[in-house]
């Protein structure tokens, strides 16, 4: 006989015999018509059992809390079948031994049965040692049912302490895999189970498996969503979700940082209208349409305009979002801010251009300065013999001024070359600006306003080079305001930290800004304004060589600083110069000597014959006794001879660069081996060579750059003796 009990309407258990005929409670059968209760057939009992199982599984699939729903379902199944204990075990693999284990996960127990959910012996049970036949049956998708007298010794070890008289175990399979099982214990009697009853319990097990599968899918989805959210919020890439009409649906914190807006400010608004420049909007809209049509967008570079007006370059990858009811739901775009990389690439390309120009410019400037030295020297000597009121004297003075202008041109060229290191001295930038700015303002309709704090740090600069930079920026500002306006020149002390300004090391700087109210720089040419040979000026009456800002850029870089700009078409331009700050006071300038030198012997070395001859004539005019040498070997020989004859040279003038021979620096080292006390002046057509700038660090007593005037030569010789 197969006994199950059913729940009556009053909640009491009533024992029924499935093998014969019995009576079911009114709550589960037709209403009583006043006669004796109808006898339920066996098929009716099965139908009722199936109906009760179906109801329990229906409630399981509509759960809000999975754990509570499983427990309620087990309770419903247990009370419906009049069992003492119903439970669920899950299979898993031992990570160390690789064997199949099973552990209890859920349980319901009646008031007459002991609760086993916390029993440690029911966790990590190895099938192969406890019940190999159970493992075999479950793997074969068969129901296992047994009574206590037939338990194997190993099964008795686990089941007898729980008071189990009979047991039925039904496999739970998920996607064809044995996930675990649901078990039913009767602790009061031994039972046999019919095939139909097993089938109904299989339905229950299948329903539980479906609920577990759904729970697993939900957990996997939640985990996937959590991973997505973590990626979405922590990735350094910008992530945008856009609707088909390019309205912003969502973005991550990286996007918020890049664009400078909170999501609340932009959600539902057009990405194109908010952050794409007008000139690019049509192209971007067409790209979005192509993505919606199924074309992926890979490594596409584009510019965006942040809330603060900053233009950033982004490399985008974008794809269409999954469709909803055959309608595209939008696109997802991931982007990386490559503005810094583009800047570095631009700086590298500019540096390569400057290097190419510098190689050519350095050689030309050196040779040109040698020619100017000859011309200027002859002019200076000719003027000595003339009356200042003489017409020829006036013409020679004009020619002399032209030589000075030509020298300024060569100095600009040398700014590109490796030899263009600044000749620096420490000074007050505020005083320097107030001195040089007025000379660069030529438009009376333009007013200049200063904002220079008293505590402004000193800077170490090459006066001529920085004056050239300031002058060029002021000329550009005046050209941008032909009808007049205001130029503001301001400076302040700043501390640069980290990557605040690319290319600058951390430390104290002085920032100098020159701001105009002009027409501004068109956006399309802004990336190129520091490139050599690039000019926005026409080739008519106002010609541009394309070297002006490139020279400024090179000069400031060689001062260990940087120059930046910001410009809004129609609203003006601001150039900012950052120079390293120092705490020293301005060095005293060399004092020129007007005293006429006594007859002294001077050795002059230069490989250019015309320069050598005219400089010798000037020195003779100044009262010196001069000997000339064309290279280092000749200079050393003459020096040794003079020492041996007791007629030593008091000073030597040595050209820095000798073609195919020993230059001034090595020659001086040899001369100092003969006479360590000799006074030396280094002479060079490379006006910004480090040996010229730091002559004392290289063993020289003074420096002189070509071309030079008689006055400058006298000063160099006086400083050498000082």
Asked if pLDDT for residue 642 goes beyond 80, the answer is yes
Q: At which residue do the structure tokens 């609707």 appear?
A: 243
* Cα–Cα distance, 288 to 453 (Å, whole number): 52
Per-residue pLDDT, averaged over 550-576, amounts to 87
* Cα–Cα distance, 493 to 483 (Å, whole number): 33
Q: Please tell me the number of Cα atoms within 13 Å of 402 on its side-chain side.
A: 8
More confident residue, 689 or 244: 244
- Tokens found for residue 378: 């002859």
The three-state secondary structure class of 58 is helix
- Cis peptide leading into residue 276 (ω within 30°): no
* Cα–Cα distance, 349 to 550 (Å, whole number): 12
Asked if pLDDT for residue 165 goes beyond 90, the answer is yes
Q: Is the pTM of this model over 0.75?
A: no
> Do β-strands 562-568 and 572-582 pair in parallel, antiparallel, or remain unpaired?
antiparallel
Give the end-to-end CA distance of the chain in Å, rounded to a whole number. 130
Whole-number percent of the chain with pLDDT over 70: 81
Which residue intervals of the chain bear CATH 3.30.565.10? Answer: 425-582
φ, ψ of residue 183 in degrees (nearest 5): -120, 150
Asked if pLDDT for residue 79 goes beyond 80, the answer is yes
* Cα–Cα distance, 477 to 574 (Å, whole number): 9
Asked if pLDDT for residue 690 goes beyond 90, the answer is no
Instruction: Please check whether residue 549 is in contact with residue 468, taking contact to mean a CB–CB distance below 8 angstroms.
Output: no
Per-residue pLDDT, averaged over 221-243, amounts to 82
Per-residue pLDDT, averaged over 250-256, amounts to 89
> Do β-strands 601-605 and 625-629 pair in parallel, antiparallel, or remain unpaired?
parallel
More confident residue, 499 or 552: 552
More confident residue, 197 or 260: 260
Kindly state the helix (H) or strand (E) to which residue 229 belongs, with its residue range: helix 195-234
Residue 535's pLDDT band (boundaries 50, 70, 90)?
low
* Ordered DSSP codes for 289-344: HHHHTT--EEEEEEEEE-TTS-EEEEEEEEEEPPPBTTB---EEEEEEE-HHHHHH
* Cα–Cα distance, 694 to 656 (Å, whole number): 13
* The predicted structure's pLDDT at residue 351: 64
Asked if pLDDT for residue 501 goes beyond 80, the answer is no
* The predicted structure's pLDDT at residue 473: 92
> Do β-strands 311-320 and 331-337 pair in parallel, antiparallel, or remain unpaired?
antiparallel
* Cα–Cα distance, 602 to 592 (Å, whole number): 19
**Least confident range of 186-195, 196-205, 495-504:** 495-504
Instruction: Please check whether residue 579 is in contact with residue 461, taking contact to mean a CB–CB distance below 8 angstroms.
Output: yes
pLDDT tens per residue, range 345-362? 776 676 666 666 665 666
* The predicted structure's pLDDT at residue 500: 61
* Ordered DSSP codes for 621-668: HTT-EEEEESSHHHHHHHHHHHHHTT---SEEEEES--TTS--HHHHH
Asked if pLDDT for residue 577 goes beyond 90, the answer is yes
Asked if pLDDT for residue 429 goes beyond 80, the answer is yes
Asked if pLDDT for residue 523 goes beyond 90, the answer is no
Asked if pLDDT for residue 590 goes beyond 50, the answer is no
Strands, E, within 62-176: which ranges? 85-93, 100-109, 125-126, 144-147, 166-174
Which residue intervals of the chain bear CATH 3.40.50.2300? Answer: 601-721
Asked if pLDDT for residue 546 goes beyond 70, the answer is no
pLDDT tens per residue, range 282-317? 999 999 899 988 888 888 999 999 988 888 899 999
Please state, rounded to an integer, the average pLDDT across all residues of the chain: 81
Asked if pLDDT for residue 586 goes beyond 50, the answer is no
* Residue 573, beta-bridge partner list: 567
Residues contacting 722, CB < 8 A, separation 6+: 591
φ, ψ of residue 346 in degrees (nearest 5): -65, -45
Q: Please tell me the number of Cα atoms within 13 Å of 173 on its side-chain side.
A: 13
- Tokens found for residue 718: 């006086």
* Cα–Cα distance, 301 to 427 (Å, whole number): 45
Per-residue pLDDT, averaged over 105-127, amounts to 93
Asked if pLDDT for residue 33 goes beyond 90, the answer is no
* The predicted structure's pLDDT at residue 545: 47
pLDDT tens per residue, range 648-658? 999 999 999 88
* The predicted structure's pLDDT at residue 598: 44
State the architecture of 3-218 in CATH terms: 2-Layer Sandwich (3.30)
The CATH number that domain 235-337 falls under is 3.30.450.20
pLDDT tens per residue, range 400-414? 888 877 777 676 666
Which residue intervals of the chain bear CATH 3.30.450.40? Answer: 3-218
* Cα–Cα distance, 275 to 284 (Å, whole number): 11
Instruction: Please check whether residue 314 is in contact with residue 336, taking contact to mean a CB–CB distance below 8 angstroms.
Output: yes
Asked if pLDDT for residue 495 goes beyond 80, the answer is yes
- Let me know if domain 425-582 sits in CATH 3.30.565.10: yes
Q: At which residue do the structure tokens 């120079």 appear?
A: 579
Asked if pLDDT for residue 75 goes beyond 60, the answer is yes
- Let me know if domain 601-721 sits in CATH 3.40.50.2300: yes
> Do β-strands 485-496 and 446-451 pair in parallel, antiparallel, or remain unpaired?
parallel
**Burial profile 443-465: b = 16 or more Cβ within 10 angstroms, e = fewer:** beebebeeebeeebbbbbbbbbb
């Amino acid at each position: 006989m197969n006994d199950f009990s059913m729940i009556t309407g009053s909640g009491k258990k009533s024992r029924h015999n499935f093998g014969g005929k019995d009576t079911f409670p009114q709550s589960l059968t037709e209403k009583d018509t006043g006669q004796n209760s109808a006898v339920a057939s066996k098929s009716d009992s099965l139908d009722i059992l199936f109906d009760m199982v179906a109801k329990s599984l229906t409630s399981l699939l509509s759960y809000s809390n999975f754990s509570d729903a499983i427990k309620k379902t087990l309770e419903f199944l247990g009370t419906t079948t009049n069992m003492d204990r119903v439970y669920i075990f899950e299979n898993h693999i031992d990570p160390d031994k690789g064997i199949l284990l099973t552990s209890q996960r859920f349980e319901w127990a009646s008031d007459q049965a002991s609760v086993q959910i916390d029993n440690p012996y029911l966790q990590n049970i190895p099938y192969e040692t406890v019940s190999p036949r159970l493992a075999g049956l479950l793997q074969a998708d068969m129901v296992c049912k047994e009574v206590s007298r037939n338990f194997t010794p190993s099964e008795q070890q686990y089941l007898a302490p729980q008071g189990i008289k009979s047991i039925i175990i039904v496999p739970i399979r998920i996607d064809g895999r044995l996930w675990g099982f649901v078990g039913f214990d009767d602790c009061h009697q031994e039972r046999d189970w019919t095939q139909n009853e097993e089938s109904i319990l299989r339905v229950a097990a299948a329903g539980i498996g479906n609920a577990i599968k759904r729970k697993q899918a939900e957990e996997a989805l939640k985990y996937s969503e959590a991973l997505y959210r973590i990626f979405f919020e922590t990735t350094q890439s910008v992530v945008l979700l856009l609707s088909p009409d390019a309205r912003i649906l969502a973005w991550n914190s990286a996007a918020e940082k890049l664009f400078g807006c909170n999501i609340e400010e932009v959600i539902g608004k057009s990405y194109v209208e908010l952050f794409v420049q007008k000139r690019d909007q049509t192209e971007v809209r067409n790209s979005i349409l192509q993505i919606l049509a199924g074309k992926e967008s890979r490594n596409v570079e584009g510019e965006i305009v942040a809330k603060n007006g900053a233009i950033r370059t982004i490399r985008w990858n974008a794809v269409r979002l999954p469709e909803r009811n055959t309608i595209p739901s939008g696109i997802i775009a991931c982007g990386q801010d490559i503005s810094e990389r583009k800047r570095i690439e631009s700086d590298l390309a500019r540096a390569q251009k400057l290097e190419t120009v510098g190689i050519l410019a350095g050689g030309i400037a050196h040779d040109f300065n040698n020619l100017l030295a000859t011309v200027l020297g002859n002019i200076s000597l000719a003027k000595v013999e003339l009356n200042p009121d003489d017409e020829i004297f006036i013409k020679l003075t004009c020619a002399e001024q032209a030589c000075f202008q030509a020298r300024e041109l060569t100095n600009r060229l040398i700014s590109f070359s490796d030899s263009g290191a600044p000749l620096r001295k420490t000074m007050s930038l505020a005083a320097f600006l107030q001195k040089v700015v007025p000379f660069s303002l030529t438009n009376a309709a333009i007013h200049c306003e200063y904002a220079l704090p008293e505590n402004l740090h000193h800077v170490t600069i090459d006066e001529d080079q920085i004056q050239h930079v300031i002058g060029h920026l002021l000329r550009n500002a005046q050209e941008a305001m032909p009808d007049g306006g205001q130029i503001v020149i301001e400076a302040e002390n700043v501390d640069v930290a980290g990557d605040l300004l690319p290319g600058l090391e951390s430390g104290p700087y002085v920032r100098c800004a020159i701001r105009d109210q002009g027409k501004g720089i068109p956006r399309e040419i802004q990336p190129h304004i520091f490139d050599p040979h690039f000019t926005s000026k026409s080739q008519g009456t106002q010609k541009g060589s394309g070297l002006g800002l490139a020279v400024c850029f090179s000069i400031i870089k060689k001062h260990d600083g940087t120059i930046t700009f910001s410009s809004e078409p129609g609203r003006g331009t601001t150039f900012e110069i950052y120079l390293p700050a120092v705490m020293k006071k301005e060095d005293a300038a060399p004092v020129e000597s007007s005293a006429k030198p006594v007859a002294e012997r001077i050795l002059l070395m230069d490989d250019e014959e015309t320069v050598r001859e005219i400089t010798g004539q000037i020195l003779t005019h100044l009262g010196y006794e001069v000997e000339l040498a064309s290279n280092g070997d000749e200079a050393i020989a003459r020096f040794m001879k003079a020492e041996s004859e007791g007629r030593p040279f008091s000073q030597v003038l040595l050209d820095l660069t000798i073609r195919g021979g020993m230059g001034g620096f090595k020659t001086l080292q040899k001369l100092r081996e003969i006479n360590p006390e000799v006074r030396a002046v280094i002479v060079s057509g490379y006006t910004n060579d480090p040996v010229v700038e730091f002559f004392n660090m290289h063993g020289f007593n003074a420096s002189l750059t070509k071309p030079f005037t008689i006055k400058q030569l006298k000063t160099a010789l006086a400083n050498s003796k000082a």
